[in-house]
Amino acid sequence: MGLKPSLYWNLEDDKENIREGAIELRARVAEHMYYKNYETPEKAKQQLNGPGFTWRIAAARKVELITGRKLSGRIIEVGAGTGVFSAQISKEPQVNEVYCLDYDRFSIDSLFPLVCNNLNADTEKIQPVVGSYNAMKCEDGYFDYVISLGAIHHSENLTATLKECFRVLKPGGFVVAVEHCHPNSYTNYQQRADYEKLISPQRAKMLYNDESLKIKVKDNSDHYYRICEFESAGFAAGFDVLPYIFDVEGEKADDKIFRKPQPYRDYSNRFFRPYFAKDLAKPVFDNLLLILHKPSSEEAPSFMTDINIKNVTDKGFFGRLFK
């Protein structure tokens, strides 16, 4: 059975929060780089064993271990890109429905159906959507989880994005976001300078199939947010916030926090000190795993007081979540 027809949530309603030209650039990336990775079942299955997918599974597995809950119910993946995570999670029996959302129409209408077909997704559960994660056309409290895997750093307004995520989540629901991030010592001067950098001709060729393009970092709606910016936007949106740093490659480094949890000094005993990058001389940390919880009156005083860290360092931690 094929995919349901795509929903089109009016992007015009979010013009102020979408950088001009960014959608077109993202579509070119999907068309010239991602499409060929999934054009046959053999290539698609190879992607599942590559770094572009395994870190997503590592993040999902870690969330389940931290919260003590499996990803379940009605899920929306925002800024889904290829949609490979949506395709795979649709096969999980505890998942009832998956909305796969991106503002790039090529990804949703052309790339995602290919991914679903070649990975044997459960298409009866999937709803493709072209739209913005700042203006989701659904009722309040519609989803159990909002998943963002390397997507919300494209937000032009983090607080607006997370407020919309808060609105569409059920009480007790979660936002799960994985992002690259910068330390809080990253200065505004450094940030502005980095946004103005031109990408290399080699990268322009890889991403857009045109090495002559003069594209700045900011043109692709890429942002180098600090940890504190993710945290403050989460709090401003109304969430309880759990920030963790984890190693993309899944080595032991990212589990130090769980072997000996330490509260932030002079900050709050509800937070664990994240384990930062192994090389502190580098300006970018390992990836940020951001877990945002929408409080529920039934979970008093807060889910945050009952975090499950038991067995997080089990040998099977980095095992595959989806068989």
Backbone region of residue 229 per phi and psi (left: phi > 0; alpha: psi in -120 to 50; beta: other values): alpha
pLDDT at position 125 is 97
Spell out, as residue ranges, where the chain has pLDDT lower than 70: 1, 243-287, 298-323
Tens of pLDDT, residue by residue over 193-244, are 999 999 999 989 988 999 999 999 999 999 988 888 999 999 999 998 876 6
242: part of which helix (H) or strand (E)? Answer: strand 240-246
**Model pTM score:** 0.84
Q: Please report the domains of the chain, with CATH numbers, ordered by start residue.
A: 7-186+224-318 (3.40.50.150)
pLDDT at position 306 is 56
| DSSP helix/strand/coil, 172 | strand
Which are the contacts of 161, defined by CB distance < 8 A and separation ≥ 6?
17, 133, 134, 152, 155, 233
Query: Are 105 and 77 spatial neighbours (Cβ–Cβ below 8 Å)?
Result: no
Number of C-beta neighbours around residue 305 at 10 A: 11
Which are the contacts of 280, defined by CB distance < 8 A and separation ≥ 6?
none
Q: Which residue has the tokens 């045109």?
A: 210
pLDDT at position 262 is 42
